[in-house]
Structure 1
């Protein structure tokens, strides 16, 4: 059986990853393609426990390296338990965040060494890389306004705007480093227009 495609959605908080992933999934399923929707952290039972810890505002004392290890642990479980089996079954895997989030948030955002993070995530993923990364790019203030519309911030969302500006810059620098897999999609439009841009970026329109 042909290996399935692996598509990752990345972007700062509030950029619309979950919405755009769902819209793409519906298009693929309408074309008769089996799809696995998943996310990080929390794509597995173990990951859900780790997600609760990572996003809990009561744990603001997590050190940046500890945070990076926890995300890597979630990713290792996720790749082994969910992503690889689905790809081997020929399914298209759509994932809300992958290792590029770690590089952007813990690397550019927190200042953890990028080489260290890259090696850590190579161990966690076994070298698995997506076929395409859709980077939904949005101004930080717009993203935070969307993300925090009707609820209090989680542990990460409570960071200052300067942190998210570094994260956004980290994403854009990654996109320039790996243009063969990254597609930058402006997310400053109504969701159906962004959806059209995603389809265009994937060559599906």
Structure 2
């Protein structure tokens, strides 16, 4: 009698870091590497990922919530995250599809908490509500000097013929972004079991390899097989 093969556990991987560090590019590259190994994955982002969450994203990044303060923004992000978890992240993990997200709960803790001054107890409560038990298996924190990051953003915009205007957070002063960077590093240090910091001050190709080394060594089903 043939045994029923066990379903491979689905993994939840998140990318974090400041503005312009290359998260979106590396999310795409990682999903390509996983697909080459026959692993089905879905790409998503925060805020966003579902129609309702994308509407909240637009509202916040247009600066329409700025006057309400960081606490109100944290609540809005949590509302978007709850829908994201219930409608996309949870169902995909349940059916065995890996989920790779450009930002997740650590961004709220860094932006509205450590940088925006929202108390830990509010951030903690919102996190419990929104995550519903769906914590990431691995978080890649891409680290880069914000001066270098914004130089890259501006250079790519010029190459693409675009004008850099900045969204709700991109337009903050450079010192704000330095505090944000240290906020992410503090989060990674406090959650070393889950978070891995990788320098993003290298080529996209070298960064992809560094990320793959971490991911493939973390999960047994990826070890010993080239992507």
Q: Does 1:96 align with 2:78?
A: no
Q: Which residue of 118, 133, 137 corresponds with 1:127?
A: 133
Q: Find the residue that maps to 1:36 and give its secondary structure.
A: strand
Higher relative contact order at CA 8 Å, sep ≥6: structure 1 or structure 2? 1
- Say which is worse superposed, 171-180 or 144-153, in terms of deviation: 144-153
RMSD over equivalenced CA pairs, Å: 1.4
Per the alignment, residue 166 of structure 1 pairs with 179
Contact kept, 8 Å, 1:185 with 1:201, in 2: the verdict is no
Q: Does 1:76 align with 2:82?
A: yes
Q: Find the residue that maps to 1:10 and give its secondary structure.
A: strand
Alignment of 1:13-28 (within 5 A): 13-28=19-34
- Give the CA deviation at 1:182: 0.5
Residue segments in structure 2 that go unaligned for 5+ positions in a row: 1-6, 158-163
Q: Find the residue that maps to 1:94 and give its secondary structure.
A: strand
Per the alignment, residue 71 of structure 2 pairs with 65
Per the alignment, residue 152 of structure 1 pairs with 165
Alignment of 1:174-193 (within 5 A): 174-193=187-206
CA distance in 1, matches of 2:152, 2:95: 36
CA distance in 2, matches of 1:166, 1:25: 30
Query: Structure 1 length as normaliser, TM-score?
Result: 0.95
Contact kept, 8 Å, 1:41 with 1:50, in 2: the verdict is yes
CA distance in 2, matches of 1:162, 1:127: 34
CA distance in 2, matches of 1:143, 1:122: 32
Runs of 4+ with >4 A deviation: none
- Say which is worse superposed, 112-121 or 141-150, in terms of deviation: 141-150
Query: Highest CA radius of gyration, 1 or 2?
Result: 2
